[in-house]
Copies of this chain bind each other. A is one copy, B any other.
Amino acid sequence: MNLHEYQARELLKAAGVPMLEGDVATTPDQAEAIARRLGGGTVVIKAQVHAGGRGKAGGVKLAKTPLEAREHSAKILGMTIKGLIVQKVLVVPAADIASESYVGLIMDRETQRPVFMVSAAGGVDIEEVAATAPEKITRLAVDPRFGLLPHQALGLALTLYPGFAQVKAAAKIMGQLYTVFTGNGASLAEINPLATTPDGTVLALDAKVSIDDNELDRRPDLAAMRDESAEAPSEVAARTAGLTFIKLDGNVGCVVNGAGLAMATMDLVKYYGGEPANFLDIGGSSNPEKVINALRIITSDPNVKAILFNIFGGITRTDDVANGIVAATRQFKLQVPIVIRLTGTNEAEAIRILQGVGMQALNDMDEAVKNVVALAQAAA
């Protein structure tokens, strides 16, 4: 789960990372008030959306006066950036910047440890630095049994600054960032830029934190940071229903059990010339209610022209899925054709249930996908 910049700032602030004071506004009035409270000088208005490149999209603006802060906020609030509507802006003083570094921590699959990445070439997209000038990035895997050791932080900071006062300050900030990372089950925590001001102060000007979704069950405080207004409503509904759903741009709705099979199903739709409208995994349990919710979510997408069920019953009982399909069609009439592939646990019973309402079930995945693609193309 990605946090907004203002939320990431809260976590960093709690850990002691030096930052400029700032606050979040949902209305131009609030933005103006914050700008005044910050002294009335120049501030930056930053759109709070889960999308990169918000600067280029016009989501970041300098405001020289509180009145300008109001005006800019009025423009940015409500703006759409990469399909997401800006609901909040962060208002922070504009900083006088002498240098910009990058300090990030990711959960690294290869070393199976938190890995620091730091670079004196900050302020820009670190992926680009990694691609074009990898030698400018210093990496360090941290042993989680011992944590970030003082000499390790110092060694990293020495790659960023020539002056030792800055080195010490940056090393301390790295320790704080590590605390934020491990203390909140993050998969990513980065400060970009970690800036110095002309007087030599080191401070974080922007922050990004992503939380491992698996942490949210045991961390209600973090789960409460989820901003559903920043997500597609269909994805919010799916999560509430215990489904894993990702909206895509195609017209073949997919309902599958298991993430691997769901991806393979989407791929097969594409292979046979179709375009998947979504990724949807109903998971291992075969609660008919989940099937009803899945159908409701998929049919609410006007792009969907045909629906495919692909269920390989293991733990999932295919008769439960069949019951769910039947119940759903009783609750709301399907406007698009549906192709059902079922095999595995309680398959015979499932077929019987479907046949009872005049529906057919296929046994073969390829055949089912070919059919649904043809149906979608015919309807388009």
Contacts and interface: CB of A to CB of B under 8 A. Distances in A.
Nearest to A144: B145
Contacts of A145: 145-146
Nearest to A147: B145
Interface in A139-154: 145-146
A interface residue count range (under 10 / 10 to 19 / 20 to 34 / 35 or more): under 10
Interface string A118-148: 0000000000000000000000000001100
A146 to B, nearest CB: 7
> So how many copies of this chain end up in the complex?
2
Contacts of A146: 145
A41 to B, nearest CB: 40
A141 to B, nearest CB: 16
A144 to B, nearest CB: 9
A98 B227 CA distance: 53
A145 B146 CA distance: 7
A146 B146 CA distance: 9
A309 B146 CA distance: 46
Interface in A215-255: none
A53 to B, nearest CB: 42
Interface in A179-193: none
A39 to B, nearest CB: 37
Nearest to A143: B145
A145 B145 CA distance: 5
Interface string A281-321: 00000000000000000000000000000000000000000
A146 B143 CA distance: 12
A146 B147 CA distance: 12
Interface in A249-267: none
Interface in A194-230: none
A325 B146 CA distance: 48
A109 B145 CA distance: 21
A145 B144 CA distance: 9
A145 B143 CA distance: 10
Interface string A44-67: 000000000000000000000000
Nearest to A146: B145
Interface in A144-174: 145-146
A344 to B, nearest CB: 36
A124 B181 CA distance: 46
A332 B146 CA distance: 54
A143 to B, nearest CB: 9
A76 to B, nearest CB: 46
2 contacts: A145-B145, A145-B146
Interface of A: 145-146
- Please list the 2 inter-chain residue pairs (A to B) with the smallest Cβ-Cβ separation, ordered nearest first: A145-B145, A145-B146
